[in-house]
Structures are given as structure tokens and as C-alpha cells.
Structure 1
Amino acid sequence: MLRDRLRRELSIFHQLRPDVQKFVLSIFCQIISNNLIFVFANAYLFISTNSISSIAVFNLGVYIMILLGFHLNAFLIKFMDVRRIFIPASILQGGSLAILFLFQTLSLWNIFSVGLIVGLSSGFYWANRNFIFPTLTEDRERDYISGIVTLVGNLSGVILPLLAGWLIVWSRTQPNFGAEGAYVTIMGFGVIVLFVGTIFLNSIKEFPTLKVTHFWPKKVSPDWKLFRTFVLASTMQMAVGATVVEAITLSFIGDEGVLGVIKSALAVVVGLIIYMVGRKMQPKDRFRLLMLSTLSLLVAVLLLLVNFGQLTLIIYITAMIVSGNLFWFVYIPIMSKATETQGEGLIADNYAYVLDHEFFINLGRVSSMLLILAAFHYLDKKLGVMTVIAAGAILQALGMAAARKLIRIQSH
């Protein structure tokens, strides 16, 4: 029965055009790698410095340089094939984190510098991926692709964080290996997976070509202003979650093994739900999923504010992971539809709108990092955690008003 089900799923996947299949497979590799590299990079920073601020400083560097990467990418593709920029960037956006292990001590300046390098390569990667995805795919395919990408990411998120977390815990009992050896092993495996992804990218026969004539949209419609508001408010919350979840777990709940168990226990259920929804969902259903993600997060934050403890922290982390998966599942099709609609079918215009979108998404992220740094500078750890997660949840709720109008327009 399982074999028949897998055959049916593969037949659906093979209905995608060959180049789209290869592009999706490269995304699989990137997500699998990120389930190791970025989850445990945050954990490594926190364990090495015992400071949530170190994670915020690292991410601040990343988000600042992503924008520069987008602009430099637009300049470079005037002289270079998109493939020659996208493929190296797909490795460097995760692999450059290995620089962290070259420092004997991790100062905030060292951490910020590595964040700048990761951010620049991530800018190259996401500039091209965000352009290629709407150019290479059709709107009717995107909910399915988003669903299967989420499923693969969560299945890998079940196995890999669990194994990696307990590898780190076990390594502390081995004097000849040590925790740093475990972190290096995890990083190395993640880079190998990224390299496999480049093989799929290199085999795409018809890579989209692009000549950028302008960096910013020539016109900003009311629809696009709604999209900006939605992006800015929602990504501030997502950035908060991406920064504090690992630190909360290691501070108040347990070690890396516990972190791996929590991530793993939630990932497969969420992934399967989203994948099944993605096969049948219509564009008009996107707001319902966004609202579900927001309500689950608000309830969890309210419980945490009323009674701060291990149980309510676990409930919050659960809601954050569920909310994050639902948000990004819906967000990618919304972003792709908004970009191609505003660009009116012109590829150069599409890139300008992608860049404008990236400016607001990273403005939200940078704002969140500054909020986190201020909160943990002036408040103690517990009050700082409560402040930033409450602010993030409120911002996501505010973004829903814009999302409702935007999705209603896109559905017509």
C-alpha cells in the first residue's frame, strides 16, 4: 500500500516539466541542509557566548548584506549567466558559516562579520531563486510545489535535528571528539547536501535569462502597497521566531538533544498536513491558512504571558513552528503571484518588484534584530523573551488585515 502511494506521488511530481523538477530538487537540498546548518549555527552561537544577543548580531549582519547581494546580483547578471552566480551562491549561503569555527574566541564583531559574508551570498542565492521560481513555474503548480517542498523539509526536519542534537550531546562525553567536532561534522554534511543541489541546478537546460534595466518599480500600485505592509509586519514576527526558538530551548528547557527532539516531534505532522492541503488548496484558501497560523500563535503567546514556564514555552515553540510552516507555505505563492502581476509579464519589471519585496522583508528582519538587541540590553532574559515574542505576535496579527485584502484581489 505504501509502495502504491509513493508511486502515485511520484507520478504527480513527474507531471511537472523536467526543468521544474530539477529546480525543485535543488530546493529540497537547500532546505535539508538548512535544517542542520542554520538550526545548529544558532545553537552553536548561543552555547559559545551564552547570549541571545549574539544570535541577533549574526542575523543583523545577514539581513543587512542580503540587500547588497540583491543589488550586486542585478549588476553582475549584465555580464554573467544567472547560472554562474546562482550555483556558487547556493553553496556559500550555508557553507560560509564554517568560518565560525576558525575563530578561537567568538566576539560580537567576529560574529557580525560572518553574518555579513553569509548575508552577501544569501542575497545572491535568494535574488536568483525568487526570480527563477515565478519565471520557471506556473501559478497552478505553486501550491503543489510549496506543499511538497514543505513535506520534504519537515521529513528531514524530523530525522536530522534529532540525530544532530544527540550527536552533540554524546560528543561531550568523548574527549577525543568533543562538541566542536560534532558541530563541524554537522556543518560538513550540510555543505555536501548543498553541493548535490548544485548538480541539479547545473542540469537545468533552459535557465531563465535576465537583463535588469532598473532596480526599483516604476510604479507602486495600491495592491503592491498592501503586499509591502503584509511583508513588513509578518516577516518581523518570522525573524523573531528564527532568532529566539533555539535560545529559548537551550536557556529554559534543555540541551541540543532536547532541541532536536522538539524540532523532530513537530516537523513531520506539520509537513504532512501542509502537503495534503497543498494538493487540494485553491488560491482563495490562502487567507484561511494564514489566519490559522496567526490565531495559533496568539493563543500560545497569551498562555506564555499568563504563566511563563517550561510547558508554556514548549506550547509557544510548537505554535511558532506550526505558524512558521503555514506562513511560508502560503507566502511563496502569494509573493510569486504579486510579482508576476505587478511586472505585467516583463522579466525586468519582475526583478524590480522582487528587489522591492526583498527590501521590505529585510527591513522587517533588521527591525526585529534591533528590537531583540534593545530588549536584552535593557531587560533580563525572561522579560526580554516575553517582550519580543509578544511584539512579534502582534505584528503578525496586524499583517493579516493587509493579507486579507491582498489575497481577495489575487483570487479574482
Structure 2
Amino acid sequence: MKGLLNEIRFFRSHDHNMKVLLLTNMIYGFVLPVVEIFAGAYVMRDTNNPAMVAYYQLAMYIGVVTTSLVNGFLLKAFDVRALYSGGILISGVSLALMMNIQGLGFVALGLAGFFLGAASGFFWTNRYLLALYNTNDENRNYYFGLESFFFSVASITVPLVVGGFIGGMDGRTFLGIVFNISTCYKVVTGCVFLLTIIASWVLWKGCFFMPKDIKFLHFRFHVLWRKMLLLASLKGMVQGFLVTAPAILVMKFIGNEGALGLIQGISGALTAVLVYVLGRLARPQDRLWIFLGSVLVFFVGTLFNGILFSAAGVIVFVLCKVIFQPLFDLAYYPVMMRTIDIVAKIENCNEYTYIMSHEFGLFAGRAFGLLLFIALVYFVSETFALKFALIVVGGLQMLAYPLSKNISNRSNQLSTETNDETK
């Protein structure tokens, strides 16, 4: 109990805006598993076509990158909190609309994915921007560690509760309503929308400073930022698979969302504690070791899935995936933000310039990964895509470690040179 009180006091010692952001993201963290996991499973159940799941995700990512550009123009006229909370609310509305479409055809599925991605684009880009302005390199490990802890807890509780609800209520009658899979998804979506309202209300408790100069269109970047965009592409490539492959594999080998929730919950328990402890204790120079550990865990998971290609292999892969994601993000985002701090000062550009271009870097990787998956499904086979594409992606992701090491070392050099020039 004493240790818990110490952690609460440590949290309360930080800046008000940083605490507001963390609380907002904590609440929205309970929405993300529904958007990332169960939406994919819903599409898979409705279409019974893995390529359509990948197509839905691709449309979603097009929405993300589109609104990252639109958001830059809107920042000139609207409070950043309005755009941030608007993205949170629209994600709930978009999910509800998708669940109410009768028969997800090619066009309907693409539009549903695009608008859900558009909402996510407002959330993620403004989240990055506010985190950048309200943290520094010394407290970003703690910030992203605590945020990842919230997301990991959500990845435990939400899949367990949602999976249990869907599995337990399917075929039952309650208050005169006969529940089927579709009805259960609609109830879940209603709960998601309520959480988005609460998260938006909390966000408006913050008082966030925004610079007056928000010119953000820039096309020629410092070589350090170009390396960061390459790292973003590697991250995006894996993201494209991680929001698609787990749901497809679980539905293929295990068969229901309840099992999906149970697997996510078990693997998330250890990770939640691990990322918080690392975020609390790790120093900026420890980020490279976290990078290395995360990519190794993911690659091992893809090998188990490809070699076994069974229910056991899927369980090991999902376990590794849930451990990999928060560990990788814990190291990735502080490196990204420190790089923005440095290159923005060198190039005298607004920070949103780099946040927007970062989304394009992520999109390049996501599009490559998803198009590769779709091509393998149509031109080779679904089995080949699920077995071997993940191994290829996991192998390529291993390049993130030497690349992040190079970025960190060069950032240290440029930071020293910049400080010497200002003295």
C-alpha cells in the first residue's frame, strides 16, 4: 500500500496538463481494443474474407493520413482540444455506423474504414502534438510507460469483458430482446460511445499552449528526420499486420471472440506491470535495450506461428504480440519526440510539420504491409500469407534496432552541437 501511495504522489507531482493527457488517454485506452481487435473480427465474421479485413484496415489508414493533413489547417481556426475530443467522439459514431450497416460490401466497408480512420487521425496527431509540448526527454519514459500501462490494462480487461459478453449473450433473451452476435456488437459500441464522451470531458480540464506559427507544409527534411521516417515505416508495416492477422488467426484456429479476449487478457497481465516499471525506472539511454528486446520477442512469435500454424502457434504469437507492442512504443515515442525537438530547432519549423510527415511515414509502411498481405492471399494462398508474411515482416522489423541506435547517437551529437552554438 505504501508503494502504491508513493506512485500516486509521484504522478500528482507532475504538470497539470500532463496529468490531464494521461487521464484522457487512460479512458480512451478502453476504446482502442474494440477499434483495433473486435472491429477486425466483426469484419471477418461478416465477410469471411481475410483480404477484406486487410482492405478495411487499409481504408482506415488512408483516413488517418488524410486527417493528419486536414488537422494542420484546422489548427489555425480551432482549439486543439476541440479537434482532439472531436476525433475521440467521431470514432465512437463511426464504429456505431459500421455495426449498423446491413451487409458490408466493398464500398460500404471502405467508407466505414475511412471514417473510423479519419476519427483516429484527429486523435493520434493531436495526441502526439500535446504530448510533445507537455513533456520533455527526461519524463517521456514515465509518460509513455504509464500510458502503455493503461493501454495494457485495457487490453486485458476489455477483450475479457467484451469477449465474455459476446460469448455469454449470443442466443440469449434479455428484456424481450433476443441477442445474437450483431446485437452484442451494437451494445458494445454504445458503451464505447459513452467512454468517448467521458474522455472528451476530461480533456477539456487541461489548458494547453499552442504556438501562433502553425505553418506546417514542408517537404525537404534533415537527414536525421528522414531516418526517423524510415523507422516509422517499419513500425507502420508491423501495425498493418497486427490489427489484421491476430483476429484472422484466432477466428481461423480457435473460432470465437471470447477466446480472443482470453488470450489478449492473459498475455497483457505481465506486460502491464513490465512497461510501468520500465517507464518509471528506465533512463533515456536504456531505450535501445527496450527496442532490442521488443523486436526479438515479436520475431520469435512470428516463427512459432509460421512453424506450428495451429491453435498453439496462434496463442504464442498473440502472447508475443501483446508483449511487443507496448515495449516497442515505450522506446519508440520518446526517440521520435526527441528527434522532433532537435530537427525542429535546426530547421526552424513548426513541430506539427514532423508529426504530420510522421503519419505519412507510418502510412507508407502500413500500406506496404497490407498490400503485401492482400497480394499473397489472392495470388498465392491465404495459408501462405498467414504463415510466411508475418515472418518476413518480423524479420524486417529487426532492422528497427540498428536504425534507432543510429538515430539516437546522431541526436546526441546534434544536441551537443546545438547547445555549444547557443552558449
TM-score by length of 1: 0.94
Q: How far, CA to CA, are the matches of 2:381 and 2:238 in structure 1?
A: 21
Contact between 1:147 and 1:274, CA under 8 Å: does it hold in 2? yes
In structure 2, the partner of 1:273 is 274
In structure 2, the partner of 1:64 is 62
Letter in 1 for 2:313: T
Measured after TM superposition, the shift of residue 210 of structure 1 is 4.8
Matches within 5 A, 1:221-300: 221-300=222-301
Q: How far, CA to CA, are the matches of 2:157 and 2:101 in structure 1?
A: 30
Q: How far, CA to CA, are the matches of 1:354 and 1:385 in structure 2?
A: 32
2:182 is aligned with 1:184: no
Matches within 5 A, 1:4-83: 4-83=2-81
CA spacing shift, 1:88–1:143, aligned 2, 3 Å: same
Letter in 1 for 2:117: G
Larger mean Cα displacement after TM superposition, 177-186 or 34-43: 34-43
Measured after TM superposition, the shift of residue 264 of structure 1 is 0.4
Q: How far, CA to CA, are the matches of 1:67 and 1:407 in structure 2?
A: 26
In structure 1, the partner of 2:131 is 133
Show CA shifts across 1:262-307 (max 9, x none): 0000112111011111111011111111111111222232333333
Measured after TM superposition, the shift of residue 35 of structure 1 is 2.1
Measured after TM superposition, the shift of residue 345 of structure 1 is 8.4
Letter in 2 for 1:353: Y
Instruction: Give unmatched runs, 5+ long, in structure 2.
Output: 414-423
CA spacing shift, 1:68–1:210, aligned 2, 3 Å: farther
Measured after TM superposition, the shift of residue 349 of structure 1 is 2.2
Q: How far, CA to CA, are the matches of 2:163 and 2:198 in structure 1?
A: 23
In structure 2, the partner of 1:205 is 207
Contact between 2:26 and 2:151, CA under 8 Å: does it hold in 1? yes
Contact between 1:66 and 1:120, CA under 8 Å: does it hold in 2? yes
In structure 2, the partner of 1:111 is 109
Q: What is the DSSP-based 3-state SS (H/G/I as helix, E as strand, rest coil) of the residue aligned with 1:315?
A: helix
Contact between 1:236 and 1:395, CA under 8 Å: does it hold in 2? no
Q: How far, CA to CA, are the matches of 2:258 and 2:391 in structure 1?
A: 27
CA spacing shift, 1:142–1:115, aligned 2, 3 Å: same
Q: How far, CA to CA, are the matches of 2:251 and 2:56 in structure 1?
A: 18
Show CA shifts across 1:341-367 (max 9, x none): 111189852111111111111111111
Measured after TM superposition, the shift of residue 65 of structure 1 is 2.0
2:383 is aligned with 1:382: yes
Contact between 1:77 and 1:211, CA under 8 Å: does it hold in 2? no
CA spacing shift, 1:293–1:222, aligned 2, 3 Å: same
1:123 to 121, 124, 127: 121
In structure 1, the partner of 2:315 is 314
Measured after TM superposition, the shift of residue 142 of structure 1 is 0.9
Q: What is the DSSP-based 3-state SS (H/G/I as helix, E as strand, rest coil) of the residue aligned with 1:140?
A: coil
Q: How far, CA to CA, are the matches of 2:404 and 2:322 in structure 1?
A: 20
Contact between 2:71 and 2:122, CA under 8 Å: does it hold in 1? yes
Instruction: Give unmatched runs, 5+ long, in structure 1.
Output: none
CA spacing shift, 1:238–1:37, aligned 2, 3 Å: closer
Q: How far, CA to CA, are the matches of 1:124 and 1:237 in structure 2?
A: 21
Q: How far, CA to CA, are the matches of 1:358 and 1:187 in structure 2?
A: 27
Q: How far, CA to CA, are the matches of 2:301 and 2:102 in structure 1?
A: 39
Letter in 2 for 1:192: L
Q: What is the DSSP-based 3-state SS (H/G/I as helix, E as strand, rest coil) of the residue aligned with 1:96?
A: helix
Q: What is the DSSP-based 3-state SS (H/G/I as helix, E as strand, rest coil) of the residue aligned with 1:354?
A: helix
Q: How far, CA to CA, are the matches of 1:144 and 1:205 in structure 2?
A: 21
Measured after TM superposition, the shift of residue 214 of structure 1 is 3.4
Q: How far, CA to CA, are the matches of 1:271 and 1:11 in structure 2?
A: 20
Measured after TM superposition, the shift of residue 12 of structure 1 is 0.9
Measured after TM superposition, the shift of residue 340 of structure 1 is 1.4
Measured after TM superposition, the shift of residue 209 of structure 1 is 4.3
CA spacing shift, 1:182–1:383, aligned 2, 3 Å: same
In structure 2, the partner of 1:163 is 161
Letter in 1 for 2:395: I
Measured after TM superposition, the shift of residue 127 of structure 1 is 2.1
TM-score by length of 2: 0.92
Q: How far, CA to CA, are the matches of 2:321 and 2:67 in structure 1?
A: 29
Letter in 2 for 1:23: L
Letter in 1 for 2:111: S
In structure 1, the partner of 2:372 is 371
Q: How far, CA to CA, are the matches of 1:390 and 1:338 in structure 2?
A: 30
Aligned residues: 409
Q: How far, CA to CA, are the matches of 2:202 and 2:392 in structure 1?
A: 41
Larger mean Cα displacement after TM superposition, 135-144 or 261-270: 135-144
CA spacing shift, 1:94–1:395, aligned 2, 3 Å: farther
In structure 2, the partner of 1:401 is 402
CA spacing shift, 1:305–1:40, aligned 2, 3 Å: closer
Measured after TM superposition, the shift of residue 333 of structure 1 is 0.9
Measured after TM superposition, the shift of residue 390 of structure 1 is 1.5
Q: How far, CA to CA, are the matches of 1:400 and 1:150 in structure 2?
A: 20
CA spacing shift, 1:36–1:255, aligned 2, 3 Å: same
Q: How far, CA to CA, are the matches of 2:392 and 2:190 in structure 1?
A: 36
Q: How far, CA to CA, are the matches of 1:304 and 1:122 in structure 2?
A: 30
Measured after TM superposition, the shift of residue 245 of structure 1 is 0.6
Contact between 1:83 and 1:207, CA under 8 Å: does it hold in 2? no
Percent identity (aligned):
22
Contact between 1:150 and 1:271, CA under 8 Å: does it hold in 2? yes
Measured after TM superposition, the shift of residue 212 of structure 1 is 2.2
Q: How far, CA to CA, are the matches of 2:242 and 2:201 in structure 1?
A: 32
Contact between 1:286 and 1:407, CA under 8 Å: does it hold in 2? no
Letter in 2 for 1:195: I
CA spacing shift, 1:172–1:210, aligned 2, 3 Å: farther
In structure 2, the partner of 1:84 is 82
In structure 2, the partner of 1:324 is 325
